[in-house]
Amino acid sequence: MKSSSFSADNLLAKLNTLSVAGQYYVAYSGGLDSHVLLHALHSLRSELSTEIYALHVNHGINKEAGEWVLHCEQTCKNLDIELIVLNIGESHPLGESLEAWARQKRYSLFATKLDTEDMLLTAHHQDDQAETLLLQLSRGAGVKGLAAMPFLRNRDGMSHARPLLNFSREQLLEYAKLHKLQWIEDGSNDDLGIDRNFFRHEILPELQQRWPNIAETLCRAASHQAEAMTILDESAETDLQNCLTQAENCLDIEKLLLLSSARQANSIRHWLRQLSLPIPDTRLMQEILNKLLPAKIDAEPLVRWPGTEIRRYQQHLYASEPFPVHDNKVKLDWNLNAVCELGDGVLRASLGHGPGIKTDICRDNQVQIRYRRGGEKIKLFNKKHHQELKKLFQETGIPPWIRDRIPLLYKDDKLIAVANLWIDVAACSTDDETAWQIDWNWSNWQNSNI
């Protein structure tokens, strides 16, 4: 049962459930909800063991944005709370949701201001939660989407709490009137072309006419979904531990296929979240399950969507961000004393003892970087004949889409090394010789088993 009114004491009870070693940072728009949160926190100052700061983001979208900044500055001055104004400073990309873009930019800016021990507080309330659930339902969301907004979460490396989730917009309005607060009314909130506003002004009021407590009921439904999501995550973590290989971005398909299709999908979503990669929609997930997983062992299928590529090679499933454009015709001179930054990673060389490139081979400390174009061979220690790189890559289990991106080191037009994988016997030092030892750090495939 919801409380009959909102008060600072109600807020304190919520805050006491949080463990905060740093400072509170309030996302302050100047609107009703965030003003109530900031004012209530101010009244609790003597009972809090942490300092309070306000963060205001100037999106630069509304023509009144400058006036909003002035309002926030004056309010925070009156409350003796330091205000930090953050400017996005870039335009909304065409074709991208304005609301989603602004939200992503807003939280990215917040993350730049908070230390790991600090906590971001936002003023999302019960009606916001109900609207979010209806929005997710309209989009056909799964359990995670229907769990809506959690009370506490970690986002972009910062702790984020929503202490007003149990209180309605009406209760916050009552508090604001009681304390004679003045707030900003954002006219864009009345734009019914925005889905959230349509639910707020058209759908929820109609539902409340028949079921007065519908917002509270919808929030309870979201809470049930959050509990279900916890169970799904725990199940996925158990399944995932059985399917992971030595590389985090690689799964064992044979073990994955032992699971039901529902658990396969649950594990793959959980895996992608751990890799901080976007989650596929239902159609793409079915393509992964029905076409990619059961593909023939010599097939090399690919499923991609914005921000993610999933491939199969032999009995393994690989996930990564899209690779940058690569030209394997490029030739670069590299001074071994310098760090060499390439599109796919960084090459470094250091002098040491043990297997490496003989210093006699590179008296001028110079080599040339090239990439595989087919037919390259190298002779390894204890091998009678030269071997094709293609065969070595196959034997080592290096996926085909990576092979042409691995830097080859040449001296006087002779292949002397393949990144940090192999050194030609003619260029390889003995254990007691000083030699150039190569380190190849992948930027886009750093979790691979190469």
Amino acid at 80: D
Predicted TM-score (pTM) of the model is 0.80
Placement of tokens 């965030």 in the chain:
34
For residue 190, give the DSSP letter: G
What's the confidence (pLDDT) of residue 447?
A: 41
Residue 333 dihedral angles phi and psi, to the nearest 5°: -85, 135
- The residues pairing with 333 across neighbouring beta strands, listed in sequence order, are 368
Both tokens of residue 317? 């499933």
Beta strand spans in 16-124 (E): 24-27, 52-58, 82-87, 119-121
- Rounded Cα gap, residues 416 and 378, in angstroms: 8
Angle (nearest 5°) at CA 111 between 108 and 113:
125
pLDDT at res. 82: 97
Quick count: other Cβ atoms within 10 Å of Cβ 209?
9
Give the pairing of strands 345-353 and 316-320.
unpaired
Nearest to 222 by CA among 275, 150, 280, 146: 146
One-letter amino acid of 325: V
Indicate the angle between helix axes 214-243 and 261-274, nearest 10 degrees.
90
Counting as low any pLDDT under 70, the low residues of the chain are 1-4, 443-450
At 267, which helix (H) or strand (E)? helix 261-274
Going by C-alpha positions, the residue among 373, 368, 366, 367 that lies closest to residue 326 is 373
Structure tokens at 382: 């204890």
Query: What letter does residue 443 receive in the DSSP assignment?
Result: S
Q: Which stretches within 80-213 are classed as H helix?
A: 98-113, 126-138, 143-146, 169-178, 195-198, 204-210
Contacts of 158 (CB under 8 A, 6+ apart): 110, 111, 114, 116, 118, 119, 120
88 CB-side CA count, 13 A? 19
**264: alpha, beta or left? (left if phi > 0; alpha if psi -120 to 50):** alpha
Q: Is 120 helix (H, G, I), strand (E, B) or coil?
A: strand
Three-state secondary structure call for residue 379: coil
Token reading at 288: 């992964």
